[in-house]
A and B are shown apart, each in its own frame.
Chain A
């Protein structure tokens, strides 16, 4: 439903794909792993995702009420007994939200895993084997890419009556692998001709060994970002399916809550507590996953990091805008400078401004 948020697949015209991070030396491996976490976006995203996963596991146990149980308080706003109010049948919205988390996370991750496995199989095979196989597999993934996925998912699940979580997750997984496969194929193509792969081939390594031990470790970032993107898509699709009433069977998820809220005119009755929490829960989960994806992008291509402040006040009160690859030159300074000196505390990724050296006689 949303546009894939990763930009790794983007290819600079005439330059091929963006550079991949070099595989770390064995000794450095440990330090590198934590490097990713030092990115603030990655840390925030992973912490939020961790909370969601925790709630998915313990949610049904800590929910104060049975999500389906009817109560005496009908359409009540948030109170100390019902933190997020109640529905038209007196069901506790907070409990529904907690119990629904498990289904959302389950479908998201299962669909993500299915799609990722498929995309790795198809994308890497197409890129590595090449020739007719490549043409066939590329055509297949392009077809799946162009066919609108969501209407297809809606129609297939509505035809399979009483589609459960497993079916929904599998249908989503089998229809949303194509984008990642395309990206992986492009990356594999660029990795295939690298010297170390050629060397492995020359020493007589088998193809599967080259793919698993030489190629896949260098594709980790692309695969991870594809996985996260698919999870976002799968979560949104599952909630959409439940919202339009296709899968609102026995299991609770956030879409089911919205389905009942919409069906019972929660809007007209101004029962905001009924639909706001579920929507926010989706939005925050989606934001967390997108943050992880941005962090992966920045990890792979450090240029994309948000630069710090680029407008800098010099000692003399002038403002200079810093740009990569440029050295701002301050001319007409009131006081003559005898030698160039860098101004401290500037953007570490960019250039350092230099005050023009005045030729003193």
Chain B
């Protein structure tokens, strides 16, 4: 319990740091972006919206950083992330809630799948060192060095076309309303297949490699020799003795590298015009939509923190030592 509480305290601290960072970043913008926006959307912004923008961008007339900071927190707790410019006049929170489910489905599912597949192959490669599995390593290294988005481009070029099974972009057939029904779900699955494969191919090799290295290290431990000497079946030694212990560092590695992975997968969304958070970020960049960018950064960070917490809970179940009191 103490372990978990410590972790939660750390994540709360990190969330605070991220939000504070988010507060200060727009203050780097030279000039007065709000004034530029007011002129751009002449007459369309209400006084209240302008006020909220000034708080977001930190060009408050009062000029006191501390009171701005307090105001910023008040806005956050009210769920007010400002208005999006790219999708004017939709609030940022609404834009985000529309797209987050897409990203969670695509990136969440593929990341976990890639971890499971990679770890499985890594167990095999580490245990059967010197067999054909060693040939797997250079191939996967090459694929992991390819940028995600380039692999996506190539996949679109090679696999999609007028009469191909794979659609070249989008989240689902145009005109379908998102719902849990027999029209939307198959179409959404069909559209997510190619982006998912792209992410899978380029991210799986990291897991293979780290799991292989851990397996190699663990399999020369004394307790493995003992297990063999006891005459346990090969399979049992490999899975319950070696893999079980080799998995622990990999799980904590999984938690720590989530931030890297999430960043990369966003580019796949951009290439495939997949209506998730990454694609929204791309559109926000094109429109200089700072409130949306800030909101996206906040949402990504919080999701990564939650995922980290879940990985910690998993670790708690896997490693009895962390469960010991005291």
List the interface of chain A (C-beta within 8 A of B): 1-5, 7, 10-13, 18, 139, 142-143, 145-152, 154-156, 158-161, 179, 232-233, 236, 239-240, 243-246, 258, 262, 267, 270, 272, 275-276, 278-279, 282-287, 289-291, 294, 297, 301, 303-304, 306-311, 322, 324-326, 347
Contact = CB atoms under 8 A, between A and B. Distances in A.
Interface centre among B21, B147, B148, B245 (most CB of A within 10 A): B147
A258 B14 contact: no
A10 B129 contact: no
Contact of B304 (A148, A236, A243, A301): A148
Contacts of B218: 12
B147 A3 contact: no
A137 to B, nearest CB: 14
Contact of B17 (A143, A236, A301): A143
A1 B25 CA distance: 22
Contacts of B149: 240, 243, 258
A159 B290 contact: yes
B264 interface: yes
B207 interface: yes
Contacts of B25: 155-156, 159
Interface stretch (B72-80, B88-96, B281-289): B281-289
State the majority secondary structure of interface residues on B.
Answer: helix
Nearest to A350: B130
Given A151-B266, A151-B296, A3 B145 contact: no
Interface in B253-272: 253, 256-264, 266-267, 270-271
Contact of B282 (A155, A244, A285, A311): A244
B150 A5 contact: no
Contacts of A11: 249
B147 A1 contact: yes
B196 interface: no
Contacts of A322: 130
B66 interface: no
Contact of A347 (B128, B130, B221, B286): B130
Nearest to A145: B256
Contact of A282 (B11, B29, B145): B145
B220 A324 contact: yes
A159 B26 contact: yes
Given A148-B262, A159-B29, A308-B130, A303 B220 contact: yes
Contacts of B213: 7, 10, 297, 304
